[in-house]
Structure 1
Amino acid sequence: MKHTTFALAAAATIVASAAAAQQTITVNIGSSHPEQNIWVYAMKNTFQPEVNRILEEAGGEYEVNWNEAYAGTLYKFTDTREAVQDGIVDIGMVGTVWEGSTMPLQNVTYFTPFATPDHRMLIEIFDDLNVNQEDLAQSWADNNMVPLSSLITDVYDVYATFPVETMEDLQNRRINAPGTSANWLQGTGATPVDGALTTYYTNIQTGVTEGTLSFASGILPTRVYEVAPELTRVGIGSMYFGSIAANKDFYDGLPEPVQEAMQQAAAATSEAHGDYVADLAARAMEEMQAEGLTVRDLPEEEKMKWVENLPDIVQPWLDQTGEAGNRVLSAYFDALRERGAEPLRAWDEGR
């Protein structure tokens, strides 16, 4: 009996010691968009649980207490960089697409349309370039951030109140094309009008615009197809949008096993993000067509007119970014071709 009592007491002591040795790390994680958004979904549903799983399987020395601030509860889409850079959150969705002046190098895809429709390829490319291409890596470091997992869009096409069968159909049309995407309409005769996914429906419904350049996974939840029931598939391309990133000061202060868990979880998140966007885009097409969306492909010869009539829209970006921009452009197009992509326009040639 004494031996049994002693054994039980010893076991309890060991368990208590193990529990006492476990370190809990609080991580503030957030975004400007809700969890259902394509750029946030994998944060909540893959990144967090994967970190938990990896740490638990490693022996449970560390665990994470997640403080979630999704759906813009702490900051809006215009402040994603500052939120992570300044430590408002430790990890967050960073939309570099909105950081044309502070992180211009990351916007290379938006200045080189018709490069690839393969969003999974873009994830793979930018997961690599953000870490291993010196100019991109330095940009993240200069902004006090560590990129973890790349975020993309599916393919941009034309959603409109009218069919587009030839390039002439775009003449004198007003099309929502926010930010850099306005450049894609140069030479088409259409007039770009600024806006966002949240404004397209009202813009088109009220006649401010007659359509938009956008992607299926964004159009479905905003129901823009109800007022723009004509989809012309042009294949302007998928775009690198930004990254899930960590505040560098926070990340550098983490124990190495937690850093490693986050890196492994980030790789899983990239894969899950690619799958989720593909599944959502496919479901979007089915549901929107069931609701009356008409789908057509722009004839190849008309598409090539669009591509070839675009002015040299990458040059202003290169003027802004200098030699670093040239290196990033070259690295990006090298990465595309190494993976078998055939850009419809070689934006890197002659630089």
Structure 2
Amino acid sequence: MNMNRRQAVAGMISLTSPLVLGSRAFAQDTINLTISSSHPTAIAWVTPLHTVIVEKSNAMLEERGSNYRINWTEAYGGSLYDFNDTLEAVSQQLTDMGWIGSIWEPSTLPLQNIMYSVPFNTQTVDQAINTMNRLNDSEEAMKREWTSQDITFFGSCVSDGYHLFTKTPIEQLSDLEGMRLLGVPVCAPWVEAVGATLVNTGIPAMYGQLQTGVGEGTILIGTGAYPLKLHEQAPFVTRVNTGPLTFGGFGVNTDTFNSLPEDVQEVIAELGREYSIENARLIEEREALFFDKFVEEGATVTAMPDEQKLEWVNRMPPLGQLWADGLEERGIPGRDILVKYMATVQEEGGVPLRDWAADL
């Protein structure tokens, strides 16, 4: 049976959240909603909040004959909360919806961080985002991570692979020994395997921390580094490419979502998945552009040889086993999810540098 896009989205709503049919009618046609992010709109996973969710929603409602229009309040760049609070802000209705960064929620959203726990598996953004959207749609344990926080989740966000931005050149892995690298906590096992130390932080704080010497470099995606001009403080760029990774995405407070009229729910849900697709497109486009600009603006860009990447990944401990066993102790099916993740990555065309499920 063929089904059109709108029917598919309606089906997705029924699977991902308790759609309240005949939800309360609004006394007026205007619905006030707030959409937010701790990061600025220059970042590729924040841009579609405005260009997709906000800019397209009212046009779609009008096109479909809805009586409702949304009056949007947009709060980006940390104006409401910082990078540590993206989950709580939506869960506790400080904002109605927004970008949620799972990498700062390793205890609450561990399954959403699987790509950080087992890196070097994907080669394209489509492989990464399709893998995670499939798992979030099909696996009950992954759905529960969102629903337990009163969040209705619609689309994963994705980044390009991670690279090194340092004050001194990296010619061999031993050059990283003893180096303080700024980054998110889930990257700690990566850098510790080559003798570096991770300094926990978020992208908005990195420029100042590099400038003041808190870190001697950072492990970060190129599309996150360029807009904040991190290459001005760390001009040696080593293209590692750990593989594109997902790390949360677009979520709506469930109480807010269930209070909306059905036609508004359908539009938000459809645009939520489109957010995911547009984020992936922007990453591909911007990564190529930004690496050209690094060179144009005086940074020294080199590529880490494949044999060094393979040595790096093989020096890491059995991260898949450690991650899965730790979750099993908490009653979370880490082993099952890891096996399904590795299989799904390969179904999507990914070629992992290491089989992280082999040690289970």
Shorter-chain-normalised TM-score: which range? 0.7 to 0.9
Give the whole-Å Cα distance in 2 for the aligned partners of 1:148 and 1:82.
17
User: Any residues of structure 2 matched to 1:237-316 within 5 Å, and which?
Assistant: 237-316=243-322
SS of 2:227 mapped into structure 1: helix
Do the aligned partners of 1:21 and 1:61 also contact (CA within 8 Å) in 2? no
SS of 1:52 mapped into structure 2: helix
Give the whole-Å Cα distance in 2 for the aligned partners of 1:212 and 1:237.
17
Give the whole-Å Cα distance in 2 for the aligned partners of 1:80 and 1:196.
12
Do the aligned partners of 1:155 and 1:215 also contact (CA within 8 Å) in 2? yes
User: Any residues of structure 2 matched to 1:48-59 within 5 Å, and which?
Assistant: 48-59=54-65
Q: After the TM superposition, which of the residue ranges 201-210 and 95-104 deviates more from structure 2?
A: 201-210
Report the CA distance between 1:198 and its aligned residue.
3.4
Report the CA distance between 1:242 and its aligned residue.
0.9
Q: Does 1:82 align with 2:92?
A: no
Report the CA distance between 1:113 and its aligned residue.
1.0
Change in 2 beyond 3 A, CA 1:190/1:88: closer
Partner of 1:347: 356
Report the CA distance between 1:170 and its aligned residue.
2.2
Instruction: Look up the equivalent residue of 2:356 and give its one-letter code.
Output: W
**1:327 pairs with one of 327, 332, 336:** 336
Give the whole-Å Cα distance in 1 for the aligned partners of 2:261 and 2:181.
50
Do the aligned partners of 2:320 and 2:359 also contact (CA within 8 Å) in 1? no
Q: Does 1:101 align with 2:107?
A: yes
User: Any residues of structure 2 matched to 1:76-225 within 5 Å, and which?
Assistant: 76-225=82-231
* Higher helix content, 1 or 2: 1
Do the aligned partners of 1:186 and 1:311 also contact (CA within 8 Å) in 2? no
Change in 2 beyond 3 A, CA 1:73/1:186: closer
Report the CA distance between 1:208 and its aligned residue.
4.1
Q: After the TM superposition, which of the residue ranges 218-227 and 68-77 deviates more from structure 2?
A: 68-77
Give the whole-Å Cα distance in 1 for the aligned partners of 2:193 and 2:82.
34
Give the whole-Å Cα distance in 2 for the aligned partners of 1:236 and 1:61.
47
Give the whole-Å Cα distance in 1 for the aligned partners of 2:288 and 2:134.
27
Question: Any stretches of 5+ residues in structure 2 without a counterpart?
Answer: 1-25
Do the aligned partners of 1:22 and 1:61 also contact (CA within 8 Å) in 2? no
Do the aligned partners of 1:78 and 1:98 also contact (CA within 8 Å) in 2? yes
The root-mean-square deviation of aligned C-alpha atoms, in Å, is: 2.1
SS of 1:182 mapped into structure 2: helix
Change in 2 beyond 3 A, CA 1:205/1:254: closer
Give the whole-Å Cα distance in 2 for the aligned partners of 1:177 and 1:141.
28
Change in 2 beyond 3 A, CA 1:21/1:248: closer
Q: After the TM superposition, which of the residue ranges 215-224 and 134-143 deviates more from structure 2?
A: 215-224
Give the whole-Å Cα distance in 2 for the aligned partners of 1:177 and 1:315.
23
SS of 1:262 mapped into structure 2: helix
SS of 1:89 mapped into structure 2: coil
**Number of equivalenced pairs:** 332
Do the aligned partners of 1:117 and 1:238 also contact (CA within 8 Å) in 2? yes
Change in 2 beyond 3 A, CA 1:274/1:327: same
Report the CA distance between 1:44 and its aligned residue.
0.6
Change in 2 beyond 3 A, CA 1:174/1:334: same
Give the whole-Å Cα distance in 1 for the aligned partners of 2:70 and 2:166.
46
TM-score of the pair, normalised by structure 2: 0.86
**1:338 pairs with one of 344, 347, 352:** 347
Partner of 2:30: 24
Aligned-residue sequence identity (percent) comes to 35
Change in 2 beyond 3 A, CA 1:285/1:59: same
Instruction: Look up the equivalent residue of 2:340 and give its one-letter code.
Output: A
Give the whole-Å Cα distance in 2 for the aligned partners of 1:191 and 1:86.
34
TM-score of the pair, normalised by structure 1: 0.88
Change in 2 beyond 3 A, CA 1:256/1:191: same
Report the CA distance between 1:206 and its aligned residue.
4.2
Question: Any stretches of 5+ residues in structure 1 without a counterpart?
Answer: 1-19
Instruction: Look up the equivalent residue of 1:341 and give its one-letter code.
Output: G
